[in-house]
Amino acid sequence: MVEMAILAAAVCFICYLVLCAVVVIRTGKTAGLRDLAHAMRGLRAVLTLRQ
């Protein structure tokens, strides 16, 4: 069970890194990463409220 949680966290982290790379490639600069960070923070807040 713990291994599945670690695997899920690793997959989520890799997807986040891919998303960051896509933002940088599409915009051509790293300024969009701040907006991405705000969106991820908002998503985390929504997901923690559901518990």
pLDDT of residue 51: 53
Specify the DSSP element, H or E, that contains 17: helix 2-27
Q: Can you tell me which residue has the tokens 């705000």?
A: 38
pLDDT of residue 50: 61
Vertex 32 angle, CA 29 and 37, to 5°: 135
pLDDT of residue 18: 92
For residues 34 and 21, the answer to whether their CB atoms sit within 8 Å is: no
For the segment 1-51, what is each residue's pLDDT rounded down to a tens digit?
Answer: 788 888 988 998 999 899 999 988 998 888 888 888 888 888 888 878 765
Entry pTM: 0.69
pLDDT of residue 46: 81
For residues 33 and 19, the answer to whether their CB atoms sit within 8 Å is: no
